[in-house]
Structure 1
Amino acid sequence: MTTEIATLAGGCFWCTEAVFNDVIGVTKVESGYIGGSKANPTYKEVCSGTTGHAEAIRVSFDTDQISYGEILDIFLATHDPTQLNRQGNDIGTQYRSAIFPHSDAQKAEAEAAIERATPDWPAPIVTSIEPLGEWYPAEDYHQEYWQGEGQSNPYCLAVIPPKIRKLRKSFAARSKEGAAA
């Protein structure tokens, strides 16, 4: 097994984490913060919008089962990459759509994925490709949030199921649940 890492920001990390936990070949998803100026930021600091960090996920995946390009295709299809510094009612640079490549090859693939996704959206894609920078894992209570507390959180119940349905419909062969059905 060859493991690679993708670092992605697509709004609330609870939502993107829930999607990627259902993707075949994904071995781990960690929520955290990236792209800001403050060392060891807290959730409260990131939510204030003053640190420059994005809520993001770090996806570990088996390249024998899924490619980085496929990870990016799922990412760009399961959030709205046309919204600048927001996802729905979550507004601020901490909710920006961004890809943080780990190599020049990932950067080239990110550019290609945005180009592939462009015809699927009625507005221009504003997803940025940003330098990797320092990764800060989010507090423990944010990890695996949907699988636990998120099931009773009204925000999560409104936002996450449509994203998972889109994954299971558009990428059925890539979804753990979709492939099992």
Structure 2
Amino acid sequence: MNNYKKAYIAGGCFWGMEELFRTRPGVMDTEVGYIGGENEHPTYKNHPGHAEGIEITYNPSITSFKELLDYFFRMHDPTTVDRQGNDLGSSYRSAIFIQNEEEKNTAEEMIAIVDASKKWEGRVVTTLEPFTVFWPAEPEHQDYLVRNPNGYTCHFERFAESFLE
């Protein structure tokens, strides 16, 4: 039996986020999907209100929720509302889906740290939303950039140094 935990975040197209997170130390698995929306069993063509998000399964003895959020705030622009790169709309919002009070406190602390760093020109607009259900995306979206190495992504590491240093 393992003691792995799961984190749920969204920050633009799920392909690029998954590709960057899947190789992070302590990340055991990633899955792309839909979260925070209006319908059950959403699909790529029908996910009103859902964000394109990722489920991160991680080993808390190797990495923490705070360290995952630190990387999250470095690999997408958390200062744009409903936009990442060429992708526009609420599906591409920056959001952290909170499962408990500890995650909420950690997320609020990280947002304050990121804002105080002044590394981004604007203020963080990442929403903190209650976790409800994560709906896995269709198989063709899972590990998309592994199978299509030249596929579209607007994600990259903007800052090499941690906000926590």
**What's the TM-score once normalised by structure 1's chain length?**
0.83
* DSSP-derived class of the 1:83 partner: coil
Q: How does 1:5-154 map to 2 (within 5 A)?
A: 5-46=6-47, 51-118=48-115, 119=117, 120-149=119-148, 151-153=149-151
2:161 counterpart of 1:170: yes
Task: State the distance in 1 between where 2:54 and 2:86 align.
Answer: 19
Structure 2 residue runs without a partner (length 5+): none
* DSSP-derived class of the 1:147 partner: helix
Task: State the distance in 1 between where 2:161 and 2:20 align.
Answer: 12
Give the C-alpha shift of residue 166 in structure 1: 4.4
Structural RMSD (CA) = 1.4
* DSSP-derived class of the 1:100 partner: strand
* DSSP-derived class of the 1:45 partner: coil
Note the alpha carbon deviations across 1:111-155, whole angstroms, 9 max, x for none: 011111112211011000001011100001111111112x132x2
Identity of aligned residues (%): 40
Please identify runs of 4+ aligned residues in structure 1 that moved more than 3 A: none
Give the C-alpha shift of residue 170 in structure 1: 3.2
Task: State the distance in 1 between where 2:150 and 2:20 align.
Answer: 17
Which structure features the higher share of helix residues? 1
Matched length: 159
Task: State the distance in 2 between where 1:20 and 1:66 align.
Answer: 12
**What's the TM-score once normalised by structure 2's chain length?**
0.91
Task: State the distance in 1 between where 2:130 and 2:21 align.
Answer: 22
